[in-house]
Structure 1
Amino acid sequence: MNKILHMLSSFFSKSEFDLDGYHFKNEYKKDKNNVLLDVRTVTEHDSGSLPSAINLDFLSSSFSSSAAALPKDKAYFVFCRSGSRSSSAVSMMRKMGYNSYNLVGGIGAWPS
């Protein structure tokens, strides 16, 4: 029963800024000014990332100030390993006035 409640809660708590891999990739590719933002650690990023993604470690103490330095005239398509850190990053960035989207399921959800 708890699993069912958890699944329902997860389903209904998704925001319009949480995109599955297909929609995330398609929306990202609509505008050449869109930015892929990898919020994994430097080690994770260096072990393999999406083409042209910039790395801004969400777990770093400087994430907020680094994010605040990003241009606000771009849309940010944010991903991590599982979708958890990127969801938190998108929430924070949206509160700062950024147009940002989360890849639900993380980098593994990016369609080939």
Structure 2
Amino acid sequence: MDEESVSVTEIPDGAAIIDVREDDEWEAGHIEGALHVPLGELPTRLDDLPLDDDMYVICRTGGRSHRAVAWLTNNGFDAYNVAGGMGSWNLDHGKPIVSENGEEPWVK
């Protein structure tokens, strides 16, 4: 099954966004309301995922989310890769991000 990519502008309002970046990247800046599941933890955290919803998977540039989406779709989930990742979300499209540490959020 071919993995489907969507642009940042195609993500529906209120959609389930899964951020598969590492902890330090998440803390520096992430999408408010996104679910943080680092790529290496994905197989052990399936219970945390919204099973009945389409999931939009994001990382820094699209590589890790591509692998996550391939794994998720092979395991029966409806998942889409966010093309360009957080760089596209924040830097290209100016969509807001928040940080966990009270500092100015940025894409690490």
Above 0.5 in TM-score? yes
- Equivalence for 1:81: 60
Of 43, 48, 57, which aligns to 2:24? 43
Matched, 1:56 2:37: yes
Q: How many residues are treated as equivalent by the alignment?
A: 89
Provide structure 2 residue ranges, at least 5 long, that are not aligned to the other structure.
95-108
Calculate percent identity across the aligned residue pairs: 28
Aligned pairs for 1:86-101 within 5 A: 86-101=65-80
Q: Is contact 2:18-2:37 (8 Å) kept?
A: yes
SS in 2 for 1:71: coil
Alpha carbons of structure 1 residues 16 and 93: separation in structure 2 relative to 1, 3 Å = closer
| TM-score between both structures, scaled by the size of structure 2 | 0.74
Larger radius of gyration: 1
CA drift at 1:71: 3.5
- Equivalence for 2:4: 17
| TM-score between both structures, scaled by the size of structure 1 | 0.72
- Greater helix proportion: 1
Q: Point out which structure has higher relative CO (alpha carbons under 8 A, 6+ apart).
A: 2
Distance in 2, Cα, partners of 1:21 & 1:105:
8
Q: Is contact 2:3-2:69 (8 Å) kept?
A: no
- Equivalence for 1:9: none
The two structures, once aligned, show a CA RMSD in angstroms of 1.5
